Amino acid sequence: MASEDLFDGAIGIGELLLEWHLGTTYSCVGVWQNDRVEIIANDQGNRTTPSYVAFSAEERLIGDAAKNQAAMNPKNTVFDAKRLIGRRFERFDMTHWPFTVVDKDGSPYVQVEYLGEEKTFTPQEISSMVLSKMKEISEAKLGKTVKKAVVTVPAYFNDSQRLATKDAGAIAGLDVLRIINEPTAAAIAYGLDQQSKTEKNVLIFDLGGGTFDVSLLNITGGVFAVKATAGDTHLGGEDFDNTLLEHFKAEFKRKTKHDISDDARAIRRLRSACERAKRTLSSVAQTTVEVDSLYQGEDFSANISRARFEEINATMFKSTLEPVEKVLKDSKIPREKVDDIVLVGGSTRIPKIQALVSEFFGGRQLNKSINPDEAVAYGAAVQAAVLTGQTSEKTQNMLLLDVAPLSLGVAMQGDVFGVVVPRNTPIPTNKSRVFTTVEDNQTTVTFPLTYSYEGERTQCRDNRLLGEFELTGIPPMPRGQAELVTTFEVDADGLLKVSAQDRASGRKASISITNSVGRLSSAEIDQMIKDAEQFKQADKDFSARHEAKADLEAYIQQVESTITSPEMSSKMKRGAKGQIEAELAKAMEKLELENSTADELRKAQLGVKRALQKATAQRLRLEFVFSPSPTRDEVSDRANKRSGSNRRDEVLDSSLVSPNLINTKLFRPRVPSETNCSAQTIGSITLGSCSLARRFCLKKGLCMSIPASCCHTPPEFPLDLRLER
Return the axis-axis angle of helices 123-142 and 522-563, rounded to nearest 10°.
60
- Given a cut of 90, whether residue 661 has pLDDT beyond it is no
SS (H, E, C) 622-648: EEECCCCCCCHHHHHHHHHHCCCCCCH
Architecture of domain 237-317: Alpha-Beta Complex (3.90)
Q: pLDDT at position 638, please?
A: 53
Give tens-digit pLDDT for 277-290.
999 999 999 999 99
Q: pLDDT at position 563, please?
A: 81
- Given a cut of 70, whether residue 645 has pLDDT beyond it is no
Give tens-digit pLDDT for 90-100.
766 677 788 99
Give tens-digit pLDDT for 16-75.
433 322 224 789 999 998 888 999 999 999 999 999 999 998 889 999 999 999 989 999
Architecture of domain 404-520: Sandwich (2.60)
Most confident of 302-311, 387-396, 689-698: 302-311
Name the 3-class secondary structure at 379: helix
Q: pLDDT at position 496, please?
A: 85
Q: Could you tell me the pLDDT band of residue 82, with boundaries at 50, 70 and 90?
A: confident
Give tens-digit pLDDT for 688-710.
334 444 443 433 444 444 444 44
Predicted structure pTM score: 0.71
Residue 449 phi, psi dihedral angles, 5° rounding: -90, 125
- Given a cut of 60, whether residue 352 has pLDDT beyond it is yes
Q: pLDDT at position 3, please?
A: 46
- Given a cut of 70, whether residue 584 has pLDDT beyond it is yes
Q: Could you tell me the pLDDT band of residue 625, with boundaries at 50, 70 and 90?
A: very low
What average pLDDT does the chain have?
80
Query: Which pairing describes strands 464-471 and 445-452: parallel, antiparallel, or unpaired?
Result: antiparallel
- Given a cut of 70, whether residue 511 has pLDDT beyond it is no
Could you state, in order of their start, the residue ranges of all structural domains in the chain?
Answer: 3-235+320-399, 237-317, 404-520, 523-616, 620-723
Q: pLDDT at position 549, please?
A: 87
Mean pLDDT on 168-175: 93
Q: Is the CB of residue 122 less than 8 Å from the CB of residue 109?
A: yes
Give tens-digit pLDDT for 426-457.
999 999 999 999 999 999 988 888 776 555 55
Please name which of 55, 22, 58 lies closest in space to residue 541, comparing C-alpha atoms: 58
Which helix (H) or strand (E) segment is 363 a member of? none
Q: pLDDT at position 64, please?
A: 93
Q: Could you tell me the pLDDT band of residue 202, with boundaries at 50, 70 and 90?
A: very high
Q: What is the number of alpha carbons within 13 Å of residue 656 lying toward its C-beta?
A: 8
Q: pLDDT at position 613, please?
A: 81
Q: How far is CA 373 from CA 1, 29, 151, 308, 719, in A?
A: 35, 11, 15, 27, 71
- Given a cut of 90, whether residue 9 has pLDDT beyond it is no
Query: How far apart, in whole angstroms, are the C-alpha atoms of residue 548 and residue 587?
Result: 12
Q: pLDDT at position 147, please?
A: 93
- At a CB cut-off of 8 Å and minimum separation 6, what does 620 contact? 654, 657, 685, 687, 721, 722, 723, 724
- Given a cut of 70, whether residue 340 has pLDDT beyond it is yes
Percentages of the chain per state (helix, strand, coil), in multiples of 5: 35, 30, 35
Q: Residue 443: is it exposed, middle or buried by C-beta count within 10 angstroms (0-12/13-18/19+)? A: middle
Architecture of domain 523-616: Up-down Bundle (1.20)
Q: pLDDT at position 724, please?
A: 34
Query: How far apart, in whole angstroms, are the C-alpha atoms of residue 369 and residue 581?
Result: 65
Mean pLDDT on 632-643: 51
Q: pLDDT at position 662, please?
A: 37
- Given a cut of 80, whether residue 155 has pLDDT beyond it is yes
Q: Could you tell me the pLDDT band of residue 114, with boundaries at 50, 70 and 90?
A: very high
Please name which of 437, 421, 422, 516 lies closest in space to residue 479, comparing C-alpha atoms: 437
Return the axis-axis angle of helices 576-592 and 522-563, rounded to nearest 10°.
150
Mean pLDDT on 389-398: 82
Q: Could you tell me the pLDDT band of residue 633, with boundaries at 50, 70 and 90?
A: low
Count of H-run helices and E-run strands, the chain: 16, 33
Please state which CATH class domain 3-235+320-399 belongs to: alpha beta
Q: What is the DSSP code string of 209-232? A: SS-EEEEEEEEETTEEEEEEEEEE
Q: pLDDT at position 192, please?
A: 80
Give tens-digit pLDDT for 181-197.
999 999 999 988 776 67
Query: How far apart, in whole angstroms, are the C-alpha atoms of residue 329 and residue 227?
Result: 11
SS (H, E, C) 391-445: CCCCCCCCEEEEECCCEEEEEECCCEEEEEECCCCEECEEEEEEECCCCCCCCCE
- Compute how many other C-beta atoms are within 10 angstroms of the C-beta atom of residue 219: 22
Q: Could you tell me the pLDDT band of residue 476, with boundaries at 50, 70 and 90?
A: very high
In this structure, what DSSP letter does residue 22 have?
Answer: T
- Judge whether 237-317 and 404-520 match in fold: no
Name the 3-class secondary structure at 284: coil
**Four-CA torsion 401, 407, 411, 417, nearest 10 degrees:** 140
